[in-house]
Structure 1
Amino acid sequence: MKRNVLIIGAGGVAQVVAHKCAQNNAVLGDIHIASRTLAKCHAIIDSVHAKGSMQTKGVLQAHALDALDVEATKFLIRATHSQIVINVGSPFVNMSVLQACIDTGAAYMDTAIHEDPLKVCETPPWYANYEWKRREACKAAGVTAILGIGFDPGVVNAYARYAIDHHFDQVDSIDIIDINAGSHGRYFATNFDPETNFREFTSTVWSWENNAWKANQMFEHRKDWDMPVTGVSTTYLTGHDELHSMSQHLGVPNIRFWMGFGEHYINVFNVLKNLGLLSEQPVRTARGQEVVPLEVVKAVLPDPASLAPAYTGKTCIGDLVKGTKDGQPAEVLIYNVCDHEASYHEVGSQAISYTAGVPPVAAALLIAEGVWDVGGMVNVEELDPAPLIAQMNRMGLVTRIRHAAGDNVLDPVCPVAASLGDDRQGELKYG
């Protein structure tokens, strides 16, 4: 059994991770939070104590760390006796933290694909450029490394795996749909790190169609979806992390990612892009200072964590899977609905952070208990999804399934859940 968790990063997702680890510290043990900005770590610790999130008395400590420094990261892992590392920092640090885990034997998790600061939206399969190159090193060291265990990527990968295993003889398409029907009340803001957010959308959009990669432009393909709770929303075909692994592991000919955008977001985004303010390449000002336009934009936009107190509305994220079962056409939607206000009340973060932060802690519990401690590198769709879905249900991130028989809570462990209706959404309790 593995114990003691090191959380790397101190943003909105890290805050959720810290609260959820604290709520389960009887199993997970000591909790350590590390970031370049020590004050942010202390603010998260204050939040955990203010909300009374600690399940039992235990260690909750902050540390200053430059996670690009492999030796410093190794030292901290060993000094804190951490056997599980949850990396929710910038995607630029993935490979450094992963190497530190390989060298120390700690289990590794992240929530996004690695990025090179000088490259944007790399050609597929992106994972092959970075993380997958260390598969053999993880295997040789017996290190469990679970890649992309946020919501998307992460939970949507598990949803796809579950649908394929339990509802179809053959799957023809998976459409991942990400809708945020909430409102934060600001003129313009991003729901997570602006630098990461904008880099996703400034270059080629890759989708998996007819068993091949297809290149598109951002906002080139639009589609309206009628989703549970959030209703009809406009989305655009977007490239995303999970496509790079799911396309290689699931044997499904069409896998696409659709994200909801309002007209205001698109207008502001296009102005920033057309002015060159979303460039990751440095420019020199009239005063001779060298600046990166994208970093300047990030500096003037609201901190995503600051949006939480005023955020209202809900998110709906899920997989619409189509194929055949017993020779007949079949379709299922496996999804989650998350409430911004409820998320803030529980952990002080908005729903975007909540949906990304709960899954890695659920996975940490599965690693601690040996269920997902596989001793090698995997993407989420390579693992049995049932324990993850059941664990998230227990932790407040409830999965539902809509199919021909109706719309109900999906719990692969507790059969009675299948009979519960919409009036019990998000309210499963376990003894």
Structure 2
Amino acid sequence: MKRNVLIIGAGGVAQVVAHKCAQNNDVLGDIHIASRTLSKCESILETVHAKRAMKQEGVLAAHQVDAMDSAAVAALIRETGAQIVINVGSAFVNMTVMDACIETGAAYIDTAIHEDPAKICEIPPWYGNYEWKKRDLCTEKGVTAILGAGFDPGVVNAFARFAADQMDEVKSIDIVDINAGSHGKYFATNFDPEINFREFTGTVYYWEDQQWKETSMFASGREWDLPVVGTQKAYQSGHDEVHSLAANYPKADVRFWMGFGDHYINVFTVLKNLGLLSEKPVMTAEGQEVVPLKVVKAVLPDPSSLAPDYTGKTCIGDLVKGVKDGKDIEMFVYNVADHKEAFDEVGSQGISYTAGVPPVAAAMLVASGEWDAKTMKNVEEMDPKPFFTLLDKMGLPTRVQIGGLGGEDKAWDA
């Protein structure tokens, strides 16, 4: 059994993680949250108390730490007695936080791939550039590291594994992410604008015919007729989970599709063409050096501020095609989440909710020993069934359409 959790980060996803950890502190023990800005951590804890989220009396504490300082993170892990670290900070801090976990023996869980601030869209497979280089060390030290345990990546990896386990051969995995909600702002991103834009300005890599192929953002789009949210246009995008699923299912085509409206595409295109999405510093006429992408981030709404007025639903799932007993088979494994319901429960919008609930479920499985792998794993390398069981109870139920989209719809364990 592992107990006591340290949450790294204080954004919208961290708020969901804090609430869900509090709701399950009988399993997880003491709950600590840390970021560079102590006041942000304290504000999140205020929302936890306001919602009376603590399942039982226990420690709920805020701390200040620079997550880029691995020694400081290690010291905080020791100070708090945390045996599980949930990293929902910037993607730039993954490796320093992971190093602190390896040093202290704490289990490590994150929700997105590591990024170097000076580089955009490195060569695939992305995990091979950073995280996987620490796999042997995790094995040597007996340290559990669960990579990409948000929704996408994360739950969608488990969806793929669940479908693949029911097939003799997997031919293709298409991950579809649709946010059919509305935040009422002229323009905003649903998570960190800097990470959001970096994700969409680089090459779109996908796995097809057992090799990496390339396209550009918004060059490849199609309509998807999905449960609840209906027909939606989605575009092929580069995304974390493609890079691990391609390694674990090398004979299958693996693609990621994300929904975008015309307004988002228009604004994005203007910003990009003006050079405002560049991560390279420029000099103003007044002699001040600025990074255009960081300026854009500074003037856009904070994603956590979108929650009160967000309405509508999300639908995220995997269309998996393969062969069973010599016959073609299709399954669409998915979840539908509601923005207002998320806000009512934890004070966050649905995108943060879908990203924040799964790492807490993963932490609970590590705590119980079911996912305490004592090495590094991507989510599809773990048994998805106990994961789904917890997610069902925690607000993200898994559904399956047998026969592909529009097929017989049922609960995953029906």
Q: TM-score, normalised by structure 2?
A: 0.98
**1:268 match: secondary structure:** helix
The answer to whether the 8 Å contact 2:281/2:290 transfers is yes
Matched, 1:282 2:281: yes
**2:178 match: secondary structure:** strand
- The one-letter amino acid of 2:13's match is V
Deviation at 1:169, TM superposition (A): 1.6
Matched, 1:313 2:312: yes
Q: Once the two structures are superposed, what CA deviation does each residue of 1:56-84 show, in whole Å capped at 9, x if it has no partner?
A: 00111111110000111010000000000
Corresponding residue for residue 123 of structure 1? 123
Q: How does 1:387-402 map to 2 (within 5 A)?
A: 387-402=386-401
**1:401 match: secondary structure:** strand
- The one-letter amino acid of 1:184's match is H
Deviation at 1:145, TM superposition (A): 0.2
**1:133 match: secondary structure:** helix
The answer to whether the 8 Å contact 2:175/2:256 transfers is yes
- The one-letter amino acid of 1:408's match is K
Match of 2:411 among 409, 412, 431: 409
Deviation >6 Å, runs of 4+: none
Matched, 1:375 2:374: yes
The answer to whether the 8 Å contact 1:161/1:250 transfers is no
Q: Structure 1 CA distance, aligned partners of 2:53 and 2:162?
A: 31
Matched, 1:331 2:333: no
Q: Once the two structures are superposed, what CA deviation does each residue of 1:188-246 show, in whole Å capped at 9, x if it has no partner?
A: 00000000000000010001111110010110001100000000000000010001111
**1:40 match: secondary structure:** helix
Deviation at 1:170, TM superposition (A): 1.3
Corresponding residue for residue 86 of structure 1? 86
Deviation at 1:253, TM superposition (A): 2.4
Stretches of structure 2 that go unaligned for 5 or more consecutive residues are none
Q: Structure 2 CA distance, aligned partners of 1:221 and 1:271?
A: 19
Stretches of structure 1 that go unaligned for 5 or more consecutive residues are 412-417, 419-431
Q: Once the two structures are superposed, what CA deviation does each residue of 1:270-305 show, in whole Å capped at 9, x if it has no partner?
A: 000000000001111111111110000000000000
Corresponding residue for residue 22 of structure 1? 22
Q: Once the two structures are superposed, what CA deviation does each residue of 1:108-149 show, in whole Å capped at 9, x if it has no partner?
A: 011000000010011101111101111111111110000000
Corresponding residue for residue 160 of structure 1? 160
Q: Structure 1 CA distance, aligned partners of 2:144 and 2:297?
A: 34
Q: How does 1:163-182 map to 2 (within 5 A)?
A: 163-166=163-166, 168-182=167-181
Deviation at 1:252, TM superposition (A): 3.5
Distance 1:385 1:252, change over 3 A: farther
The answer to whether the 8 Å contact 1:362/1:388 transfers is yes
Q: Structure 2 CA distance, aligned partners of 1:129 and 1:265?
A: 30
Q: Structure 1 CA distance, aligned partners of 2:126 and 2:317?
A: 22
**2:258 match: secondary structure:** strand
Deviation at 1:251, TM superposition (A): 3.2
Aligned residues: 411
Deviation at 1:340, TM superposition (A): 0.1
Q: How does 1:356-371 map to 2 (within 5 A)?
A: 356-371=355-370
- The one-letter amino acid of 1:339's match is D
Q: Structure 2 CA distance, aligned partners of 1:154 and 1:122?
A: 21
Q: How does 1:171-320 map to 2 (within 5 A)?
A: 171-320=170-319
Q: Structure 1 CA distance, aligned partners of 2:332 and 2:232?
A: 16
Q: Structure 1 CA distance, aligned partners of 2:251 and 2:335?
A: 22
The answer to whether the 8 Å contact 2:102/2:138 transfers is yes
Q: Percent identity?
A: 68
Q: Structure 2 CA distance, aligned partners of 1:297 and 1:281?
A: 13
**2:165 match: secondary structure:** helix
Q: Structure 1 CA distance, aligned partners of 2:251 and 2:50?
A: 46
**2:109 match: secondary structure:** strand
**1:335 match: secondary structure:** strand
Q: Structure 2 CA distance, aligned partners of 1:252 and 1:372?
A: 26
Q: Structure 1 CA distance, aligned partners of 2:251 and 2:109?
A: 25
Q: Structure 1 CA distance, aligned partners of 2:205 and 2:310?
A: 31
Corresponding residue for residue 426 of structure 1? none
The answer to whether the 8 Å contact 1:338/1:397 transfers is yes
Q: Structure 2 CA distance, aligned partners of 1:403 and 1:128?
A: 34
**1:342 match: secondary structure:** helix
Q: Once the two structures are superposed, what CA deviation does each residue of 1:73-102 show, in whole Å capped at 9, x if it has no partner?
A: 010000000000000000000000000000
More moved, 18-27 vs 168-177: 168-177
The answer to whether the 8 Å contact 2:234/2:259 transfers is yes
Corresponding residue for residue 107 of structure 1? 107
The answer to whether the 8 Å contact 2:67/2:96 transfers is yes
- The one-letter amino acid of 1:137's match is L
Corresponding residue for residue 150 of structure 1? 150
Q: Structure 1 CA distance, aligned partners of 2:292 and 2:402?
A: 46
Deviation at 1:337, TM superposition (A): 0.1
Q: Once the two structures are superposed, what CA deviation does each residue of 1:344-369 show, in whole Å capped at 9, x if it has no partner?
A: 00000011001000110000000000
Q: Once the two structures are superposed, what CA deviation does each residue of 1:144-190 show, in whole Å capped at 9, x if it has no partner?
A: 00000000001101110110102x22111110000000000000000
**2:276 match: secondary structure:** coil
More moved, 327-336 vs 84-93: 327-336
The answer to whether the 8 Å contact 2:194/2:293 transfers is yes
RMSD of aligned residue pairs (Cα, Å): 0.7
**2:298 match: secondary structure:** helix
- The one-letter amino acid of 1:56's match is Q
- The one-letter amino acid of 1:327's match is G
Q: Structure 1 CA distance, aligned partners of 2:7 and 2:362?
A: 13
The answer to whether the 8 Å contact 1:343/1:349 transfers is yes
- The one-letter amino acid of 1:90's match is S
- The one-letter amino acid of 2:72's match is A
